[in-house]
Each structure stands twice: as structure tokens, then as C-alpha cells.
Amino acid sequence: MKAFEATQLYFDRAAARLELSDNMRKLLLTPKREVQVQIPVEMDDGRLETFIGYRVQHDDSRGPMKGGLRYHHDVDLDEVRALAALMTWKTAVVDLPYGGAKGGIAIDPRKLSLKELERITRKFIDQIHDVIGPDTDIPAPDMGTGSREMAWMRNQWEKYHGFNPAVFTGKPVELYGAEGREEATGRGVGILAYKLLGHLGRKPQNTKVALQGFGNVGSHAAKFLYESEYKVVAVSDHTAAYYNPDGIDISKLLKFTLSNKGLLAGFNEAERISGDELLELPVDLLIPAALGGVITAKNATRIKAPLIIEAANAPVDPEADQILHERGVTLLPDILANAGGVTVSYFEWVQNRQFYKWGLNRVRQELDRVLSQAFESVWHEAKIQECSLRTAAYIIAIRRVQTATLLSGHG
Ligand SMILES: NC(=O)C1=CN([C@@H]2O[C@H](COP(=O)(O)OP(=O)(O)OC[C@H]3O[C@@H](n4cnc5c(N)ncnc54)[C@H](OP(=O)(O)O)[C@@H]3O)[C@@H](O)[C@H]2O)C=CC1
Ligand SMILES: O=C(O)CCC(=O)C(=O)O
């Protein structure tokens, strides 16, 4: 199933309970603007290559649009459109004053030199600088991008529009970035895991976790969970997957990856397994933190974990979601589970606009407060509606976006 069709299905399940009119459904599902650009760039060997970049702005009824920029070879318009819509529901479910957007370039950053990557990044901003801005659309990191790319992008954007660090979030701390943004998504996953377990009467010490993806989100989630005494028994990236039923020493693993270009392959304190096997391990909690569409109707019946936290965007497709729900699996959906990142992006934007810097403790405390409040409201809605946590999260989000749309009128 295509990515946008999948997000539409999740939307429809909640919209039916809200008895949304056909007109309102159409209005809320239609992206406001879709930008696709050609990025011609001279490579190090003198060849000219053309890449394709996207920015989809889904909805701005609750505020400026917000969402990451992804660098990955699978990026296409359908995926970006789906991810932009997810951002609208995500910012609404945690009640940030934003709408949703997403973008990216279809490239494999690992295959490019640093100079090529910087040239592509700057050329991309040359093409989209006039549709983004601190009051309209504020990009941030996603898969394949981080603070380095945000610094280049801000520098390029300011060549056209002048000084304004609030145009991008997830910047280096030394260049108006927020303390705690880098860890925020993974830390948020950890905070929400703790809340979920608490509501189910389970203890971290008795919880075996398998984690797919060990990039920004996966590695910070692993660190937080390990420090909170969960037993992280399996981890993977695209180079390798490892399993140790007695628990992996995550502090050792983090040290190992530091000296191994951030990659897992070569770690020898756990058994090597396949990436597919990791998803089907007998664990208590499964956390997909890499790509979308990794749990489908094909493998959903073989998933043994009774709990799933979607740290990645859209890792479970709607058919699999239905199968898991019928099997009694409790699933915390992406639009809440990984909202820690955009929440601290919001704190960064607020600090940039006020020229005032918060300390790490304040960021962490506020993150905990925002996510805990959102979790409680989703949990409560699911009880009232007798529905899954995903449908409950969508109900809250759609209700907020619908209200803002109606209050603004149609002028
Ligand atoms: N960064 C953020 O703040 C946010 C990210 N997200 C979502 O979280 C997910 C991960 O993003 P992020 O951590 O930032 O991205 P990164 O690029 O930092 O890391 C991605 C990770 O996924 C791994 N990966 C890629 N392909 C596979 C595969 N086939 N099997 C196993 N692992 C694989 C990568 O491995 P390798 O390094 O070997 O390529 C890497 O460890 C995405 O879905 C993203 O949209 C959601 C909210 C915010
Ligand atoms: O930090 C942000 O603004 C957006 C992060 C993002 O792309 C996401 O939550 O999927």
C-alpha cells in the first residue's frame, strides 16, 4: 500500500467516529502546497547530476507548518505527502501551535562526499527558500539529516532573507540550536514507554526490548531505556542486527559505534541475527526506529511482542495494524510516540524568537510535561471511545485541526 493511502486510512477510522462531513474530510486531507524541484549539482569528478527535492505543506490552520527534511534514496512525492500529513496530526496531538509539512531529497547521503552533500543542500535551499520561513514553514532534521545540514541550510536561507535562526530547528547548539534537541525524539520514546508501562502495571526491569534502527532516534532511545533499567536485548541498523537475551550493554555499544562511523557491524558481544528476525523476537516491547512500512500483513502474525512503540514514522501499515489490534497488541502510534523531537524543536523556535536560552534541565522538564499530558489525553480518549491508542490520537488531533479550520472561517 502506498504511504499516503495508509495515512488516509488511519485518518478515516477516526473521522468516522467524529462523523466528519465529506467536505471537511476533503479539506483536512488535501495538502495546501506541494513543491518539487530539480537540483542540478556538479559532482567532485566534474559530472553534472540532477537530484529531486520535495517540500509538501499539508495544513497551517493551527500555525506555521513544521516538519523534517529527509535524505534517503526512497524519498518520493507520495512518501513526503504522507509524512507531511502525519506532522499535522502530530503537532495537533501534542498541542503545539503548528501545522504540518515534510520534505526531502532522493539521495543516499552515505554515497556522497561532504562537499557534494553541502552543495546539494545549499542548492536545495536556493530552490525552496521562498516557501519556507519562521512564520510559514520551519524545517528540521529527519532521517539522513542532522544539525550539520540544518546549519548549512540556515546559512543559505539567510543569504536571501537576512539573520533569523528561527527558520530551522535542530541546529547545532553553538548556532542557536536547543540543548536537548538531538536526544529529544529518543528520550521522548523513553518517557512514553515509561508512561505506557506504568498504565499497564509493568516494570522496566522486567521488560525486554528489541529496537530496529540505531541512528538519532534509536540510539538515544536505547540509551534512555538502558539507563532506566530496561533490558535492551536486540538492536539493528542497516549493517547488522544483534541479539543477547540477557541484555546488551548499551553504554559499551555506544562507545563501539563512536569509533565505527556510527555503525553496528563488528560488535562482538551479542549474537548476529537477521533484521527480519529482530522484529519477530520473543520480547515484551518492540520499537521500530528506522524506516516506514516494516510491519505488514506478511509479518504481523509472527510479531511476538505484546507492546509496540512506533518511534519511526509509519512503520506499521494499516492491514498489519488491524491484525495486531485483533491479536491484543498494544501499540503507541508514531504521531504521539516520536513527538518528542518536534516538541523540543518548538522549544528551540521559541528560544530563537526570544533570543533567550533555556538550560537542558528546563528542556527535559518541559518535554516530560508536554508528552505526559498528551499521553494521558490519548489514553483517556481510547477508554471513552473503546478504540486503539492510534485511533484515539487521531481523534484528538483531527478534532483540534477541524476546530481551528472552522473558527478561521473560509475567507
Ligand atoms: N530525527 C528526528 O528527530 C525524528 C525522526 N523520526 C523518525 O524516526 C526514524 C529514524 O530517524 P532518525 O533516527 O532521525 O534517522 P537516522 O538517519 O539518524 O537513523 C536511521 C537509522 O535507521 C537505520 N536503518 C536504515 N535502514 C534500515 C534497515 N533496513 N534495517 C534496520 N535499520 C535501518 C539506519 O542504519 P544505518 O545507519 O546503518 O543506515 C540508522 O541506524 C524515521 O522514521 C524518522 O522519520 C521521527 C520524529 C523525529
Ligand atoms: O522537529 C521537527 O520539527 C520535525 C521532526 C519530524 O520530522 C518528525 O517528527 O517526523
Return the ligand 2 atom nearest residue 184 CA: 1
CATH code, domain with 104:
3.40.50.10860
Range 376-397 average pLDDT: 98
Which residues have a Cβ under 8 Å from the Cβ of 19 and sit 6 or more positions away? Answer: none
Which tens digits make up the pLDDT trace of 205-247? Answer: 999 999 999 999 999 999 999 999 999 999 999 999 999 999 9
CATH code, domain with 187:
3.40.50.720
Query: Are residues 203 and 325 both part of a single domain?
Result: yes
Q: Which of 291, 332, 334 to mutate to test the pocket of ligand 1 (most atoms within 8 A of CB)?
A: 291
Q: How many domains does the chain have?
A: 2
Provide the pLDDT for residue 316: 97
Which tens digits make up the pLDDT trace of 202-215? Answer: 999 999 999 999 99
Which of the listed residues 283, 315, 332 is the one where a domain comes to its end?
A: 332
Range 269-278 average pLDDT: 97
Which band of pLDDT confidence, cut at 50, 70 and 90, is reported for residue 343?
very high
Q: pTM of the entire structure?
A: 0.98
Query: Are residues 138 and 271 both part of a single domain?
Result: no
Which tens digits make up the pLDDT trace of 76-114? Answer: 999 999 999 999 999 999 999 999 999 999 999 999 999
Write down the mean pLDDT value for the chain: 97
Q: Which of 136, 185, 367 to mutate to test the pocket of ligand 2 (most atoms within 8 A of CB)?
A: 185
| Ligand nearest to the backbone CA of 146 | 1
CA of 332 to the centre of ligand 1 (A): 18
First to last CA, the chain: 36
Give the residue from 404, 379, 408, 405 showing the smallest Cα distance to 393: 379
Return the ligand 2 atom nearest residue 313 CA: 10
CA of 55 to the centre of ligand 1 (A): 19
Judge whether 11 lies within some domain: no
CA of 141 to the centre of ligand 2 (A): 7
Judge whether 221 lies within some domain: yes
Judge whether 148 lies within some domain: yes
Query: Are residues 150 and 213 both part of a single domain?
Result: no
| Ligand nearest to the backbone CA of 218 | 1
Range 273-278 average pLDDT: 98
Range 172-195 average pLDDT: 98
Return the ligand 1 atom nearest residue 290 CA: 22
Judge whether 395 lies within some domain: no
CA of 341 to the centre of ligand 2 (A): 6
Judge whether 356 lies within some domain: no
Residues in the chain, total: 411
Provide the pLDDT for residue 1: 85
Query: Are residues 156 and 191 both part of a single domain?
Result: no
Provide the pLDDT for residue 243: 98
Query: Are residues 214 and 273 both part of a single domain?
Result: yes
Q: How far apart are CA 401 and CA 345, in angstroms?
A: 20
Q: How far apart are CA 245 and CA 281, in angstroms?
A: 10
φ, ψ for residue 276, nearest 5 deg = -65, -40
Please report the ipTM that was assigned to this predicted complex.
0.99
pLDDT tops 70 at residue 338? yes
CA-nearest residue for atom 2, ligand 2, is 342
pLDDT tops 70 at residue 410? no
Judge whether 195 lies within some domain: yes
Range of the domain at 42: 31-167
pLDDT tops 80 at residue 411? no
338 lines ligand 2 (CB under 6 A): yes
Query: Are residues 119 and 225 both part of a single domain?
Result: no
Catalytic residue list: 102
Return the percent helix, strand and coil in the chain, to nearest 5.
50, 15, 30
